[in-house]
């Protein structure tokens, strides 16, 4: 059986991989029959050798390939992906092959197309895991809290989502800290969130968009590098830029009609601090520049979802374009 786990939500991918691999590994008599590899540079021939290895004593061998370069679409000399795809069809039934990709695999990838064909024959399965939609995030917060034996009030859920990045892994970490803070109680309320979770999610992006609007390349580079150094995920940065750029577009339109912060507040319905920031920053951009930037961000977001572009390169490229056009 071949299992492909891929998508844009790393936390869910890792959970699914853990839940799948734990029983497979526990069922083995010999650790020799379990191989787990970071496979960025694994060639087609090396893959064929590993996938074709027969188990010893056990009836099954488990081969795990994480972020396989040929599957992620990285350039290679020759037709490695096509050759690897051909080898897939000849994998012995004794091999449990698990492919884990922390990106959305492109539909045109030769390996992916072969797996899709094998899935129709019940010889493979594909699990695609994407970040939860905005309406579903509250449910995930409650679920993550319940898994830790906690109950979290509706107000605490709302405040946590306002103050945290839209990233399940980071939300889970915050909930873990809130659980320790609440001890010996198992109830997490708004006071706990206010005490423990700093409201920095948007402020970091404000610093970047402030720098872009000021047309000071050195400052832009410094803010961007600081975001990367602090461990901010490029995918989160791009998502947050899309959200904030949308606000800037609306703020610019209201400014051009002679509207006020109150008018923007009525349209957006967000926290007054967020609205005021957007209204002020919109003055540094033309409507044309914001419209072009917004559509460019949407294009980059789509390319990343399709696995056609690295998220960090996308963010760096967008920022560089804004600096040069400014």
For 271-302, the pLDDT digits (tens) are 666 778 788 888 888 888 888 888 888 888 88
DSSP lists the bridge partners of residue 7 as 129
Is the pLDDT higher at 322 or at 50?
50
Among 4, 8, 15, 6, residue whose Cα is nearest residue 314: 8
DSSP lists the bridge partners of residue 101 as 6
DSSP 131: P
C-beta neighbour count of 223 within 10 angstroms: 20
| Backbone dihedral angles phi then psi of residue 4, each to the nearest 5 degrees | -110, 125
Contact (Cβ atoms closer than 8 angstroms) between residue 78 and residue 52: no
Contact (Cβ atoms closer than 8 angstroms) between residue 11 and residue 132: no
pLDDT of residue 142: 93
For residues 84-96, average pLDDT: 86
pLDDT of residue 201: 52
Domains in the chain, CATH or no CATH each = 2-129 (3.40.50.300), 134-196 (1.10.8.60), 201-325 (1.20.272.10)
How far is residue 228's CA from residue 209's CA, in Å, rounded to a whole number?
15
pLDDT of residue 4: 95
Model's pTM, two decimal places? 0.58
């Amino acid at each position: 059986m071949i299992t492909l786990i891929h998508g844009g939500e790393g936390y869910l991918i890792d959970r699914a991989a853990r839940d799948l691999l734990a029983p497979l590994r526990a069922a083995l008599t010999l650790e020799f029959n379990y191989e787990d590899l970071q496979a960025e540079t694994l060639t087609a021939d090396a893959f064929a050798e590993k996938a074709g290895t027969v188990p010893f004593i056990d009836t099954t061998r488990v081969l795990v390939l994480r972020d396989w370069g040929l599957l992620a679409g990285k350039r290679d000399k020759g037709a490695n992906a096509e050759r690897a795809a051909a080898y897939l069809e000849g994998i012995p039934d004794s091999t449990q092959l698990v492919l884990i990709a922390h990106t959305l695999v492109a539909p045109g990838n030769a390996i992916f197309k072969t797996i899709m064909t094998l899935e129709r024959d019940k010889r493979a399965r594909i699990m695609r895991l994407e970040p939860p939609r905005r309406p579903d995030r509250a449910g995930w917060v409650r679920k993550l809290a319940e898994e830790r034996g906690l109950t979290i009030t509706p107000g605490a859920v709302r405040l946590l989502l306002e103050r945290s990045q839209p990233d399940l892994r980071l939300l889970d970490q915050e909930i873990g800290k809130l659980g320790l803070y609440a001890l010996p109680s198992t109830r997490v309320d708004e006071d706990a969130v206010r005490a423990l979770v700093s409201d920095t999610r948007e402020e970091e992006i404000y610093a970047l968009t402030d720098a872009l609007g000021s047309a000071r390349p050195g400052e832009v580079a410094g803010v961007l590098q600081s975001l990367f150094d602090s461990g901010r995920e490029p995918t989160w940065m791009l998502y947050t830029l899309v959200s904030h750029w949308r606000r800037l577009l609306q703020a610019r339109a209201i400014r051009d009609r002679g509207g006020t912060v109150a008018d923007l507040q009525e349209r957006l319905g967000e926290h007054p601090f967020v609205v005021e920031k957007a209204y002020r920053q919109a003055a540094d951009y033309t409507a044309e520049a914001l419209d072009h930037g917004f559509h460019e961000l949407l294009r980059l977001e789509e390319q990343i979802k399709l696995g056609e572009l690295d998220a960090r390169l996308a963010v760096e490229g967008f920022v560089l374009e804004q600096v040069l056009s400014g």
